[in-house]
Structure 1
Amino acid sequence: MLNIDGVVRPLLRPVKKRALQAYERFERNMFGHPDSHWMEAPPNLSSSMIGKDTGDIRFNQFPNVQHYIRRPGILRMEAVSLAGLVTNTHNDPKDDKKYTFGLVDKWGFPLSYIYGGRGWKEWRAKVQIGPILKTYGRRPTVALLGRSFATNYFHWLTDVVGDYWFLKKAGFNIDDVDLYVCPGGDEKWQQEIFSIIGIPDQKRISIKNIGTIHGIDAIIPYRSKASSEVIPTWISTALREQIGHNASQNSSRRLLYLSRKDARRRKVVNESCIIESLKAKGFIEVQCEGMTIKEQQQLFGCANTIIAAHGAALTNIIWCNKNTNIIDILPERKKTPCFNILSIQCNLNYNPIWTKSIKTYKQQEHWDDIEITPAAVDQIMKFV
C-alpha cells in the first residue's frame, strides 16, 4: 500500500502472492518515482467485469484476478528510455519470438515492465533488439498502447484501441503524443483500424521495431486490460465509438457458423460432424480471416444466430444487434468468460457449450483443440 500525494493505494484487488509482489514492485518503481505524474481517470472508467459477474457459476474459476485495477488512470514518466526486448512469454515452440519493452530512468535504473503488471525479470528478457531508433531535438511524448502479447484480434482491439479511447476519455490531450508504441501493427486489419481511428503511419511503431529511444516522456494507460478473465464494463462502447458502428437494418438475419479450420490452435478436429447438419438448417460457414473490418461489421450486424468454436473471431459480436443468439463451443478445460461478458454488455443471448478437449499444449490448456461429442452436437442443435 502506497501513500502518494496524500492518496492511499492499493490500486489493486488482492491477487496471488507472486502477482501481488510484481504489482507492488511496479507501484514502488513507477508511482513512487520522482519523475512520475499521475492523473486518475473519471469514476465511469473504473469498473470491470469478471467471471462471477456473468451470473454463470461455471465461469467463476478466477477468484484472484491479476489484471483487475480498481483505480485506473494515466501515468506519465518523464525523461526515461524505452528499450525493445525479446522474450518468450508463453513457452510455445510454434510461436515466433515475443517482443516486449522495458523502461529505464535517467539514472539507469530499470523500472518494472508494465504490460500486465509482471516484473522485469519475470518476463525473462533475453536481449535488446535494434539500434537507436530516433533522436529527437526535444523530449518526445510516447504513448504505450496495449500489451506485448496482444496481437490477436480480441486482445489487440480491446487493449490497443481500448487504450487509445481510454486516453481520450480520461482527459489526456492526444495531440501531445509524438509516437504510439503498440504490439503488432503489420496486419492489414490493424492498418485498417489505425486509419479509421486516425493514427497516421508516421506516429506509430511496433514493439518489435523499437530498438531504443532515449529521453522520452512515456504515457502509460494504467487500467484493467481485457484479458480472458477481466474486461472493463465500457469496452464494447469504446470499440463501437472508436471504430464506428451502426446497427444493421438488414432483415435477412443470417445464420452463421464460424470455422477455425485454418487456425493454429483450438481447431475443431471433427468439424464435419456438425457442419452438414447446420447447413441443412440454413447456416452459412464463414472464416473471418482475410475479411476487412467493415466486412466483418456487416456480416455480424445482420446475424440472427452465431455458432463458433471459442476464438478471437467472436470479438465481432460487438457489432451484433440486440438479442442475437451466440453459441460458444469451448474445450472442457477452458472456463474463460470473455465473450459472455461482451454479450452482457451488448444485450446478446450467450450460450456456452463445453465439449471434449484434445490436449495440445502442456502448459496452455486454453489452446486445446476441440472434439465435438454427440452430447455437444445435441445441445447445439437444440439452439438451432
Structure 2
Amino acid sequence: MLDLVRKIIRLIIPFYLRNTIRRLIFKKFRKLGILFFLRPLGFITCKSYLPVNSLNKESFKECIKKSEIIEEDKIKQAYYIEGKDLDLLQPFVAKTHTVIIEISNGGFSFRNNHLLDKNLNIIGEFRSEESDKFRPLPIYSQVLERPQKLQGTVAYLSDPAPGNYYHWMCRTLPLLKAYQKFFDFSEIDFFYLGKFQISNFHQESLTQAGIAMNQINQEACIGDKMLIAITNRTCRSFGDPINKEAFMFTRNLFINNCDFINQPKNNRRIYIQRGNVIGRNVINEIQVMELLNNYGFESVPMDGKTIKEQAELFSQSAAIVAPHGAALTNLLFIQPGVKVIELMPYGYVHDCFYVLASHGEANYFCLQGKKINHRNYDTRKLDIYIDIQNLDKICKMAALDKI
C-alpha cells in the first residue's frame, strides 16, 4: 500500500516540487526543534551553513589556515544574435579566492559530501541567496551519515554534485592542484569523495592524477588530519566561473600525456548530440543537423567515450556546435582559435562553458532557442527549439563557409 502511495505521488507531484516540499519540512522541523528530539533515534541533520570567511574564532581554534590562492582571469567577448538575457554574457574579470585549511580537531568530519564542524554546521564556499533558494544543497534535507575514524590524513575531494561530469572535471578534480601546492602527495593517505556512483570518468581521471582506488573513501569519516580546499568564485546571478588554473590543471592531466596533441589540428567540424539524457534536448535536431551538414559538420555522440577519446576529438576540431550540457566540459581540451556555438534553452543563461571557451582562447558564440510551451519549470531542464534561420545567421557570423 505504501509503495502504491509513493508511485501515485511521483506521478502527480513533479520531482522539483517533491524536493521543495521535503526541504520545507526539514526547515520547519528545525525551527520547531523537532529534529533535536529525533536525534536519539539516529535522525541527525545539519544545522546552519557557514561560508569559510565567516567561521568564528572557536571553529578556527584548532585549525591551521595553511594558505590562500587569489586569482583574476579576464574573460573574452561572447557573440550572439538575440535572446532573453544573453546581454549578460559580457567580458568580465573572474576572481577566485581559495583557502586551504588543515584540521587536527576530531570535532570536524566529512559526511554527506561536505565538511561539518562539531556543531554540525556546514563549512563551505560562499553561496548567494539565489543559489540557496533555487539550487539548495541536498544535505539540507538529508539525514547525516555517522562518521568512521580513519588513521592518517584525509583530503576533501568532493562537491554537492561530484557525479556530474562538469562539476567533477572543473570544480572537484582541480582541488588536487591546491593540495599539491602545499603538501607532498605521499603525506595524504585518503581522499574523501562522498556518496555517489563512481563512473568510468572518475576512475580514469583519478588514475591519471596518480591516485590509487584504495586511497578513495566514500564513507563519512574523521581523520587524524583533514585537509580541505574551499574556493569562493565571482558571484554572478547566472554562473560561478572556474579559474584558469583549475582549467589548466585538468587539461594538462590529459593533454600533456597524449600523443595526439602533437598532431596538427584538422578542419573537422562537429555537432555534439545531447545523448541519452532527460531534458535540454534539441526538439528539431534533424533540421539543425541538415543545416549544419551544409557547413560541413558531422554529428558525434559522446556516450561511451573515454575522457582521452573526448579530449582527442575536441582538440582536433576547428568548429564545435552543441546544446548546453555536460559534453561541453570537453572545451577543456580545445586548441586556440576554435569556433564554439552553444545552443541554450529560451530564457536560460549560464556562463560555465562561455568561461571554459575563453580560457581555451576560443571564439565563442551563443544561440538561444525559441520560446516553447513546457511543463518543466526548471529552466535548466528546458528543451531547445532552434530557429534554423538564426542558426544559419550565427554560422555566418562565425565566418563558417558552406561546403
Question: How far apart are residue 220 of structure 1 and its match?
Answer: 0.9
Question: Equivalences for 1:108-119 in 2 at 5 Å?
Answer: 109-114=119-124, 117=127
Q: Partner letter of residue 201 of structure 1? A: M
2:307 aligned residue: 293
Matched, 1:141 2:153: yes
2:99 aligned residue: 73
Matched, 1:305 2:315: no
1:103 aligned residue: 116
3-state DSSP class of the match of 1:371? coil
Query: Which is further off, 258-267 or 76-85?
Result: 76-85
Shift in CA distance, 318/101, structure 1 to aligned 2, threshold 3 Å: closer
1:64-119 CA-partner distances (Å, limit 9, x unpaired): x9xx875422012222342533xxxxxxxxxxxxxx345243xxx22324266589
1:26-57 CA-partner distances (Å, limit 9, x unpaired): 622588421111022344xx3356xxx44459
Shift in CA distance, 126/321, structure 1 to aligned 2, threshold 3 Å: closer
Question: How far apart are residue 150 of structure 1 and its match?
Answer: 3.2
2:221 aligned residue: 213
Question: How far apart are residue 312 of structure 1 and its match?
Answer: 1.4
Aligned length: 329
Asked if the contact 1:248–1:321 (Cα under 8 Å) also holds between the matched residues in 2, the reply is no
Partners of 2:233 and 2:163 lie apart in 1 by: 13
Question: How far apart are residue 331 of structure 1 and its match?
Answer: 1.3
Shift in CA distance, 375/216, structure 1 to aligned 2, threshold 3 Å: farther
Shift in CA distance, 31/356, structure 1 to aligned 2, threshold 3 Å: farther
Asked if the contact 2:125–2:231 (Cα under 8 Å) also holds between the matched residues in 1, the reply is no
Q: Out of 30, 55, 61, which is 1:34 matched to? A: 61
Q: Which ranges in structure 1 are unaligned for 5 or more consecutive residues?
A: 1-20, 86-99
Question: How far apart are residue 155 of structure 1 and its match?
Answer: 1.1
Question: Equivalences for 1:59-208 in 2 at 5 Å?
Answer: 60=88, 71-78=97-104, 79-82=106-109, 84-85=111-112, 100-105=113-118, 109-114=119-124, 117=127, 123-129=139-145, 133=148, 135-136=149-150, 138=151, 140-169=152-181, 171-183=182-194, 184=196, 186-206=198-218
Partners of 1:83 and 1:335 lie apart in 2 by: 33
Shift in CA distance, 375/29, structure 1 to aligned 2, threshold 3 Å: farther
2:253 aligned residue: 242
Q: Partner letter of residue 124 of structure 2? A: I
Q: Partner letter of residue 380 of structure 2? A: H
2:384 aligned residue: 370
Shift in CA distance, 213/270, structure 1 to aligned 2, threshold 3 Å: same
Query: Which is further off, 215-224 or 286-295?
Result: 215-224
Q: Partner letter of residue 189 of structure 2? A: D
Asked if the contact 2:270–2:299 (Cα under 8 Å) also holds between the matched residues in 1, the reply is yes
Cα RMSD (Å)? 3.3
TM-score w.r.t. length of structure 1: 0.75
Shift in CA distance, 278/117, structure 1 to aligned 2, threshold 3 Å: closer
Shift in CA distance, 317/280, structure 1 to aligned 2, threshold 3 Å: same
Q: Partner letter of residue 293 of structure 2? A: K
Partners of 1:312 and 1:252 lie apart in 2 by: 24
Q: Which ranges in structure 2 are unaligned for 5 or more consecutive residues?
A: 1-47, 79-84
Q: Partner letter of residue 170 of structure 2? A: T
Question: How far apart are residue 158 of structure 1 and its match?
Answer: 0.8
1:126-183 CA-partner distances (Å, limit 9, x unpaired): 2134x655x44x4x221112412132111110112111112213x2222211211125
1:227-270 CA-partner distances (Å, limit 9, x unpaired): 93322132221112233346352453211000114222211111
Question: How far apart are residue 224 of structure 1 and its match?
Answer: 3.3
Asked if the contact 2:51–2:124 (Cα under 8 Å) also holds between the matched residues in 1, the reply is no
Q: Out of 333, 340, 359, which is 1:345 matched to? A: 359
More helix per residue: 2
Partners of 2:207 and 2:97 lie apart in 1 by: 31
Question: Equivalences for 1:34-53 in 2 at 5 Å?
Answer: 34-43=61-70, 46-47=71-72, 53=75
Which is greater in Rg? 2
The percentage of counterpart residues that share the same residue type is 21
Q: Partner letter of residue 274 of structure 1? A: V
3-state DSSP class of the match of 2:370? strand
Shift in CA distance, 126/235, structure 1 to aligned 2, threshold 3 Å: closer
